[in-house]
Chains A and B, each alone.
Chain A
């Protein structure tokens, strides 16, 4: 018995497609060659990075590393808090076990997908145009952008809940709000908090980058230092971001572990 056509030619077809895709991709990138000075510049960058400008950590007149990181953390915390509250109605409406009308839960799911398709940088640029550059634009970006992920995760968590208690509350004569409050909320809280902490970790990274387009936080001095080629300052800022992100991940991870243990 001979192999069917598809099986015989499958490998060659895949290979041909990969070659076509690569050819197309490379044809779009202009190769200008490597400059003569490249090696010197790379050496300068690494020298700066490994000799951080420690004086920048604290400056009496302000605009230093600690204040920049503080603002970044504040943007992430405030943005996450806003999204954690705004996500509640979306999560409930998108849960197919709570909302019987498909159209209604579908509308919420669609809104959440739409929010998720926006990269945070694009959303930040839009908010900067709307409210001006600064930390407020960063808070709005993170507050709105996080809803996409949190709403989806929470609604999926709600869809996986044991619906027995809801049935029991319904049988007790509870109305919909009472049923949600007594049967859904206590079950959903551990995962809700866990998702919020996880999103906070993402948002600290996000807030650090958003400054690069002018949405406040440590990203703004970082981009200025890069444009001014003060690599030692870039070095200390990157170091600061690494420490902040690691610290938040560690605290958040610890809290989330305790939530999971308390769940069962």
Chain B
């Protein structure tokens, strides 16, 4: 469970990133956070694993405060939270397998990881994770030889190798084409359903949000302005979140049964 208690973030210079957020995300939920760019989606997501620091309030992961965690404690909490990035953030010159094994370094001593001596358990986890995203046959290829969609699936495998109970995805499909977008979103949904991993995704396509989310959170100017099911998030609701009518650029199009 992820819990925000009166969380605020003020950037140096006075810009408010988050304003007094109270939020609870239950285990197994598939939450999609929507909002204009600059509304605070990314800040909200990245404050969960403290890639962004908050200025006040406290965030709890499974009852433990990550806000007050330091050093080893913080690293132990982070290794249980997988993260997917818009630009994949793989080490392009390393093999796919090594990128996935990077998800295990938080579990092993510095000495072991510097020598690359991963125990069989870790290797099994890495191969299992690659199999789950259908990337097993690419294990020994260099990451830069893969397409964008394939790279994103490797980064999902990295999160799985972490044995994460939470996956945070910051605009995971923003640099992908519509077809691979659906493949990556399907992977995330399947993992969420089959393994019960709590998934929090930032998206800007409203039709994708409705299609995959069990819960949609709308963010505007650092505040939560909508929190409900996909069915409740009508076009009017999105207009309210965005503060203007929904534009066509915010729809991916394709499979959705909603009228476009």
Chain A positions near chain B (C-beta within 8 angstroms): 164-165, 167-175, 177-178, 181-183, 186-187, 189-190, 263-264
Contacts and interface: CB of A to CB of B under 8 A. Distances in A.
A263 B93 CA distance: 8
B153 interface: no
A172 B167 CA distance: 11
Contacts of A172: 78-79, 82-83, 102-103, 105-106, 158, 162
A190 B103 CA distance: 24
B106 A187 contact: no
Contact of B75 (A173, A182, A190): A173
A167 B106 contact: no
A198 B91 CA distance: 26
Contact of B90 (A165, A175, A181): A165
A165 B79 contact: no
Q: Is the interface of A mostly helix, strand, loop or mixed?
A: helix
6 contacts: A167-B85, A171-B49, A174-B75, A174-B102, A186-B93, A190-B93
Given A164-B85, A171-B49, A171-B78, A178 B113 contact: yes
Interface of B: 49, 51, 75-83, 85, 87-94, 98, 102-103, 105-107, 110, 113-114, 144, 155, 158, 162
B51 A182 contact: no
Nearest to A177: B110
B105 A169 contact: yes
A107 to B, nearest CB: 25
B102 A170 contact: no
Contact of A173 (B88, B91, B98, B105): B105
B10 to A, nearest CB: 20
Given A164-B89, A167-B89, A174 B81 contact: no
A104 to B, nearest CB: 19
A181 B91 CA distance: 11
Contact of B106 (A165, A173, A264): A173
B110 A175 contact: yes
Nearest to B162: A172
Nearest to B86: A164
Nearest to B49: A171
Contacts of A181: 113-114
B106 A186 contact: no
Nearest to A179: B105
A263 B144 CA distance: 10
B2 to A, nearest CB: 15
Contacts of B76: 173
B114 to A, nearest CB: 5
Given A164-B88, A173-B78, A175-B110, 19 more contacts: A164-B89, A167-B85, A168-B89, A169-B102, A169-B105, A171-B49, A171-B78, A172-B82, A172-B105, A172-B106, A173-B80, A174-B105, A174-B106, A174-B113, A175-B75, A178-B114, A182-B94, A186-B93, A190-B93
A263 B113 CA distance: 24
A168 B105 contact: no
Contacts of A174: 75, 102, 105-106, 113
A182 B94 CA distance: 9
B119 to A, nearest CB: 16
A198 to B, nearest CB: 20
Contacts of A177: 110, 114
B97 to A, nearest CB: 13
Most buried by B among A175, A177, A189: A175
Contacts of B87: 164
Contacts of B98: 182
A182 B80 CA distance: 19
Contacts of B81: 171
A187 B93 contact: yes
Contacts of B82: 171-172
A173 B94 contact: no
A183 B106 contact: no
